[in-house]
Amino acid sequence: MVHRGRPDARFSGRAVASLILLSLLAANVAAGLSVADVDAAHAAHGVGLPEPGRAATGGTLRADGTERFEAIPPRAPAAAGDAPAPGAPARAHAPMDAAPAIPRLEPAAPWLNLLAGDGGDAAQDEHGAIQFVCPESDGTDFVSTDGLAQTVVVRANCPFRVIDDQDLLGSPQVAVDPDDPNKLAFFSLHGSATDQGATERSRSTASGTLGARQSHTTFTSVTQGMQWQDNPHGREGYGEMADGIMDRSGRIYSTYLFSSPIGVVDDETVFDFHFQLYHDNDVTDGMSHFGTKVRNRDAGNAIEEVNLVLVTPRTQIESQQEYEALQNRTEERADPFNGTAAPASDDQVGQRADGRPGNYTDDPRQDVVVAVWHERAYDHRNSTTGKSSWIDAVWTRVGNETDWHHLDQSQLIGPCRDASDPAAFNGRVYVACVVDAGYTARAGATIGEIDVWAIDPITGETERMSTVPGMEGGRPRLAMNADGRMVLATTKLLGEGPSHDAAMTFLSWGWYGSRWDGTPVPVIDFAGLWYEEILEARVTAMELMDGTHSLFLSYSERGNNTLGSPTVDPNGNEPVSPNDFIEYGKLLTKFQHCRANALLLYDLQVGQVRHPFQEGIVNNQTGAFDDLQDGMATWIHPDTGEPFVYFVYGDHGVVQYGAFSGLSSGSSPCIPGPVPPLFSPPPPIPASLAPPVGAPLGLSMAAGLASTAALTLLVRRKRASIVALATKAK
């Protein structure tokens, strides 16, 4: 239930693209495979039989039979055309239902380092190289059969290539269990391409060769992505987007966005939008439990995407008022019968004896799952919200997944021409709003400016935090880390539409959503990288690391496909030639706050090998591959502290999967200083400075004020000295 209350084809010679990038920036893993049999254990839930001495997860078995986990051991990249090593030991398999024959499947194309021509090795040593790593594998394909439908994981190369033989995947998001990196999920569109839906990305559930399809799916793995289980869902309309997260206990939360035709106005079909929220106990649950259904506020209103975010409890004080409220709050420790304080338990050791907490505590049971979306009114003149567009939200506490609360209409954010995905910090959700006409939250606001807002799921209130100075462009994306650092990215298309000459991405760095470091930086100019005419461009994912504060960003661009089209084999078995036009390009980049340009830059080379059963989707149908997002999620190794960023990205109907390792800052680290504190409580007045007993009130006040001022000055000087020493140490 929901409570409504509070002219050229794509360059085949990548050297040209590399030279262009080098001049602009001035800086700075394929083999033919036979189909493997299916592991018998996977019939139950996707777990393969281990080789002798090897756990199913790819970790090593101890002598006592327990498993020692080794986080994604890296594999040497395979060169194009290499074959699996001869004489590789065969794995033991049990018989399963016979599966239809699958043609030879090509692995993913290796990434192309666009900075390799300018002392690339030295640049990687200096800035810290990215290595894409996958679970240790014997290189054979994995096939899961459900009736006649099959999921194939091509594992000859890294990244792995996840294929649903009957359905087109797209716009994926990934989640990892924080306590067990073997347990993963990615959320994706499903079904078939259609030109009858609300968008080019729409997925149809129309019957295929195996019967009616489903529009969305959650793929789960208990083997760190060695094997995947397809869990499709949805026939409530056309599929538009899927998203999901895991909480700190490994529970899965997912959302599926649908559109449905409701009428025709002026020969144009009008669509309604709604999304459904589900949860699973963990990746082995095998089914999605319904939480609630959320409709747009008025019929015909459009929703392009819905994003989920996990909000952990507030742990930092942000204001004097908040500080005083905590100091004056007394926890219930007194006995209800005689008022005597109960003896403390062991877990209360270290807390204040007077029962006043003085600060917040982090309790995972108080975590909140929030869904955020941007909604556009079908008819702004009759909008019941009084806005033409707005940012909306629903939320629930973990463990109470059927009790969702909807943002009150008075707290809607907008009007917004566009909105970012949400990011969470210190008990609140942050989201960026691109100002539209009628925006009154700030006097003198200009259309196109970007304001950052906070949503508090505890109070149900929204608050405008800041205006991002000088930010340009649309399609904003937002990222935050545990320190409260924030990065906002936008992409601006240059030239007259519908085709554009170039695209430029801007980054702005700040803290807490309320403070920004100068003006935004145009970090990459994509003029002529892949296409002479660009239809769409966007940042599809961002992950801001703790510690090094490095930003990893994926970018997608769509070229004008009227300028060329791939040669299609009528039998659908031959991969697209790299010399043919490929409609989409994707990059993975690395940035740091104190450097202006990309430190590392990789062309993901999508489209080199298309969906092996859907190669006929070309020209006007390729909008089905226009991913709104890709997925990144960080997992920290508990023993070494080494971070791994799990990464899934769409590639013409299939999903590429793996993780980054080697996320150091390199030999030339660029680590900015600490962020300023959210709030500094007033220092206590020493007893020696307290006014004498019986002193006149006026004297007491004057002495107290003078003493406090002197102490504050001393504290400021001491802080300045510490900062100076830290700066000198660098």
Q: pLDDT tens digits, residue range 240-261?
A: 999 999 999 999 999 999 999 9
Q: What is the DSSP letter of 447?
A: T
Q: How far is CA 324 from the centre of its chain?
A: 36
User: In this model, does residue 75 exceed pLDDT 50?
Assistant: no
- Among the ranges given (154-168, 353-367, 462-476, 705-719), the one the predictor scored with the smallest mean pLDDT: 705-719
CA atoms within a 13 Å half-sphere pointing along the CA-CB vector of 567: 6
Distance CA 392, CA 407 (A): 6
Rounded CA separation 193/401 (Å): 32
Nearest-angstrom CA–CA distance, 644 and 637: 8
CB 74 within 8 Å of CB 131:
yes
In the predicted model, is pLDDT for residue 568 greater than 50? no
Confidence of residue 120 (pLDDT cuts 50, 70, 90): very low
Q: How far is Cα 568 from Cα 576, in angstroms, rounded to an integer?
A: 7
What digits encode the pLDDT tens for the residues 336-349?
445 567 787 776 67
Q: Retrieve residue 523's tokens.
A: 């970090």
Q: DSSP letters of 333-347? A: -B-TTT-PBPPPPGG
The whole-number average pLDDT for the span 446-454 is 96
Task: Check residue 500 and report its DSSP letter.
Answer: B
Mean pLDDT of 101-126: 59
pLDDT over threshold 60, residue 227: yes
Q: Is 520 left (phi over 0), alpha (psi -120 to 50) or beta?
A: beta
List the 584-591 sheet strands across, edge first.
112-113, 600-603, 584-591, 551-559, 534-544
What phi and psi, each to the nearest 5 degrees, are found at residue 275?
Answer: -135, 155
Q: Do the beta carbons of residue 489 and residue 537 sit within 8 Å? A: no
Q: How far is CA 613 from CA 32, 104, 164, 226, 583, in A?
A: 17, 11, 9, 22, 18
Q: Is the pLDDT of residue 436 over 60?
A: yes
Report in angstroms the alpha-carbon separations of 344 from 90, 183, 336, 349, 360: 60, 38, 16, 7, 19
Give the pLDDT score at 442. Answer: 95
* Contact indicator for 636, 642 with CB cutoff of 8 Å: yes
Q: pLDDT per residue over 371-425, tens digit each?
A: 999 999 999 999 999 999 999 999 999 988 888 999 999 999 999 999 999 999 9
pLDDT at 461: 96
Q: Are 644 and 634 in contact (CB under 8 A)?
A: yes
Q: In this prediction, what percent of the chain has a pLDDT beyond 90?
A: 41
Any residues with CB less than 8 A from the CB of 115 and at least 6 apart, and which?
18, 21, 22, 25, 27, 28, 123, 598, 600, 601
Return d(Cα 410, Cα 512) in angstroms, integer: 24
Question: Average pLDDT in the 330-339 region?
Answer: 48
Half-sphere exposure of 215 (CA within 13 A, CB side): 26
User: Which pLDDT score is estimated for 33?
Assistant: 23
How much of the chain exceeds pLDDT 70, in percent?
64
Instruction: Kindly list the distances between the CA atom of residue 298 and the CA atoms of 84, 255, 378, 503, in Å, as whole numbers in the listed order.
Output: 56, 20, 8, 34
Q: What is the pTM of this model?
A: 0.76
Q: Higher model confidence: residue 113 or residue 691? A: 113
Residue predicted with more confidence, 323 or 717: 323
Q: Are 643 and 107 in contact (CB under 8 A)?
A: no
Range with the largest mean pLDDT of 515-529, 592-606, 635-649, 690-704:
635-649
In whole numbers, what is the pLDDT of the chain averaged over residues? 73
Confidence (pLDDT) at 670: 65
- Tell me which range, 10-19, 278-287, 570-579, is most confidently predicted by mean pLDDT: 278-287
Is 177 buried (19+), middle (13-18) or exposed (0-12) by CB count in 10 A?
A: buried
Q: Range with the lowest mean pLDDT among 180-194, 287-301, 358-372, 574-588?
A: 574-588
Q: How confident is the model at residue 318 (pLDDT cuts 50, 70, 90)?
A: confident
Count other Cβ atoms within 10 Å, centred on residue 381. Answer: 6
- Residue 63 CB neighbour total at 10 angstroms: 6
Q: How confident is the model at residue 148 (pLDDT cuts 50, 70, 90)?
A: low
Contacts of 8 (CB under 8 A, 6+ apart): 531, 532, 563, 564
